[in-house]
Amino acid sequence: MVKQVHKSEDVPIEKQEFRRIWDEIRQALLTYWDPIRVKDEPMAQDEYDMYIDPLFTLLWRNATHEEVSAYLWEIIEERIGLHPEHGATEETVKRLKQIRLRQES
């Protein structure tokens, strides 16, 4: 069963900054992960949106590479049933972990 992660509404962040991060997560999922291969389908760009808030929360909490990878594999195994290209999940996690989450002070 895919674990519920606290919603991103609980995170203290400005709306514009949240939207930037949300868009970057969406692009990483579509560009690098994309197990059902919808990245080139204009009407399916929201296919993975339901996974963005939990991923945001994992990243905000500084989850490990392994925790983020495990979450994506859980989605693949329990919800989608199709596997991404070889190495795509690891590349996606790498890209997700590179997203700048907090403003430099």
The rounded distance, in Å, linking the Cα atoms of 75 and 82 is 10
Kind and range of the H or E run holding 66: helix 65-75
Domain count of the fold of the chain = 1
The overall average pLDDT reported for the chain is 88
In a domain, 69, yes or no: yes
**Is 73 in contact with 32 (CB distance < 8 Å)?**
no
Mean pLDDT on 13-23: 90
Report CA dihedral (83, 59, 25, 55) to the nearest 10 degrees.
50
* Residue 2 located in a structural domain: no
State both tokens at 105: 């002070």
Provide the residue range defining the domain that includes 71: 14-86
Residue 100 in any domain: the answer is: no
User: What are the tens digits of pLDDT across the range 62-74?
Assistant: 999 999 999 999 9
Q: Is 49 inside a domain boundary? A: yes
